[in-house]
Amino acid sequence: MSYIVSACQEIAKYLHPGMLIILESTTYPGTTDELVLPMLQRQDITVGKELFLCFSPERVDPGNRHFQTANTPKLVGGVTPLCTAHAAALYEKAVIKVVPVSSPRAAEMAKLLENIFRNVNIALVNELAMLCDRMGIDVWEVVDAAATKPFGFMSFHPGPGVGGHCIPVDPVYLAWKAKEYDFYTNFITLAAEVNANMPYFVVQKLLRALSGRGARVLGSRILLLGVTFKRNVADVRNSPALKVLDLLRDHGIDVTYHDPLTPQLEVKGGELRSVPLTAESLAAADCVVIHTDHPAFDYDWIVEHARLVFDTRNATRDVKAGREKVIRL
C-alpha cells in the first residue's frame, strides 16, 4: 500500500475545491474509505461537496484484441452519490458503458471477485489435471468434452501456474482483510496454494519423463520456451516460469530459455539471456518445455526437431507428425 499512500500524500499538498480524485487500482475493500479518505480530509474542504472521491477498478486484459479500454464497462463507486456522478461523467467521455455501484467498497470487492473467480477456477482445473495425470486420463480431452455443454459450464484450462500482477496477488488482500472480521477465506486461500504448487508438479512430471527415457537428470539440458506469464505479453511478473527454472537448476539441470518478448531474465543467482531458437538448439536439448504458448512459435517445426517436448499449454494439439515425442500436462 506504500505506493497508494505516497500518491495520496503528494495529492494532499495540492488539494483545492472542485477536485475529483479516483483510486484506480486493485486493493482490499475499505481502502478508499479507511486509507485514502482520511489523508485527503480538511476542515475547509468537505468530501461530497467541494471534493469528490471515488474508486474505479482497473479492468485490463493484456494482449486481448477484442476488449480494450473503450468497450470494457467501467465500475464506479463514490464516497457519496455526487462523487459517483462526477466520476461517471468523466469516464463516459472515454468509455462506452459506465456502471455505478453504491460505494467504493462494493467496487473494490467486485474487482477482487473478478480476479478470485479466475484464480479459483484455474485452481480447480489444475487440481483435476494432477488427478487425471495419476489416473491416466487426458485432462485436455476432458475439458474439451465438458465444454460442449451449452449451459452451466465455463471452460478453464490447466497450466504451469498463474502469474501477472493481479491473479496470484489479489486473493491475499481479501484474506488479510477478512481476518479483521474473524472470517477465514479457506476456499480462496486453498485455490492460491494449488496454483502456487503447479510449478512443482510440472518439474516432477518432467523429471519422471526424463528418467523414464533413460536420461540422466543431473546434467540434463532443458530448453524452456516462453517465460512470460501469458501468451503474447511481455510481462514476467510472478510468472511460473521463474519457479520452474529455479527448481530445475536446483536439480542440477542445465536450463536455457527462448522467448521473443523477453531478451533477458533476472533469476536467482544472476541473469539469463534468451538463446536463439534453431533446429540445433532444439535437438541439443534433452527436453523442450513449452511454458508459454506464444503464437509466434511454429509448433510443428519445434516438435520435428526436438527429441522430447513437454507441453504445459496444449500448444501442440494440432501438430500432426511426431506426437509420440510430446508429453502434455
The residues annotated as belonging to the active site are 166
Which residues is 270 bridged to in the sheet? 267
CA dist 134 and 136 (Å) reads 6
Name the 3-class secondary structure at 128.
helix
With contact defined as beta carbons under 8 Å apart, do 177 and 30 qualify? yes
| Grid cell of 265 as nine digits | 531474465
Residue 274 per-residue DSSP state: P
HEC letters along 306-317: CCCEEECCCCCC
Which residues is 273 bridged to in the sheet? 264
With contact defined as beta carbons under 8 Å apart, do 120 and 88 qualify? no
With contact defined as beta carbons under 8 Å apart, do 170 and 112 qualify? yes
